[in-house]
Amino acid sequence: MIQSTLLWQNLLAELPKTPQHIIDIGCGTGTLTNEIARAGHQVVGIDQSANMIKQARAKFPQLDLQIKNVLLPVMQTERYDVVFSNAVFHWIKDQDKLLQNIFTLLKANGQLICEFGAAGNIARIQQAFQHELTQLDREYHSPFFFPTRLDYATLLRSHQFKVEEITVYDRPTVLAGGAAGLKNWIEQFFATDLFKLSQAKQTLIIHNMVQNLKDSLWKQDHWEADYRHIKVRASK
């Protein structure tokens, strides 16, 4: 999507202009890792998903791409000028361990540059899903970490980071797939909860959510998710 491309280009623009040693946390299929390399930086991409790294290596065989979990102990020889990450941190519940390891990964005066979901991200979608589970006498426990600007600034400072900039903004995002976009999104991101239900109940939940969210999220010929993001630049 053009919109998504422009947004990650804005995050890449936060990187230093001179060549740096960078680690891309949660690199996925390597698209942004490749862009970082094209900008002249020495970059390592890591992701805990072997499948993601396999796809990334097939697309970008020239890149240094590794299967690695950022929450595991950091090797003492690993040090970077910049820790970079896009749309990953909201999946990580243990933020204390994450920031502790990032601080260790950074050289003195190194920078953390990242973006991920903020408080209020996908609020309408989560509320609609919670409502449907309530109708089935089930509870919804969000798997996501969506902090406020103040809470994340406090968390960073508690891990000895100097907060350079934190911005929170609405980021309406087009869901691929046209009319099936929201259905596909629900099936992907609520898979764990849906898997516990019969196929008939899954179908009912998705149908009801599509109907109930149409007025607020359907935009003529596509679904537009109510994303809200936080962009962070902090230093060691």
Note the pLDDT tens digit of each residue in 9-27.
789 999 999 999 999 999 9
pLDDT tens readout for residues 76-124:
678 999 999 999 999 999 999 999 999 999 999 999 999 999 999 999 9
Q: Give the sign of the dihedral formed by CA 37, CA 43, CA 49, CA 53.
A: positive
- At 148 the pLDDT is 98
Mean pLDDT of 164-186: 95
What predicted TM-score, i.e. pTM, was given to this entire model? 0.92
pLDDT number for residue 7: 59
Phi and psi at residue 60, to the nearest 5°: -130, 70
> Which amino acid does the sequence have at 177?
G
- Alpha helices, DSSP H only, in the chain? 2-12, 31-38, 50-59, 95-105, 123-135, 149-158, 181-189, 191-195, 199-217
H helix and E strand count, the chain = 9, 10
Average pLDDT rounded to a whole number, residues 29-55 = 97
* Domains of the chain with bracketed CATH: 2-235 (3.40.50.150)
In this prediction, residue 6 carries a pLDDT of 53
Nearest Cα to 119, choosing from 152, 159, 95, 91? Answer: 152
Region 143-172: what's the mean pLDDT?
97
| pLDDT confidence of residue 1 | 38
Residue 204 Cα distances to 153, 180, 210, angstroms: 40, 15, 10
Kindly give the pairing relationship between strand 222-225 and strand 173-175.
antiparallel
| 142 vs 64: CA distance, rounded Å | 33
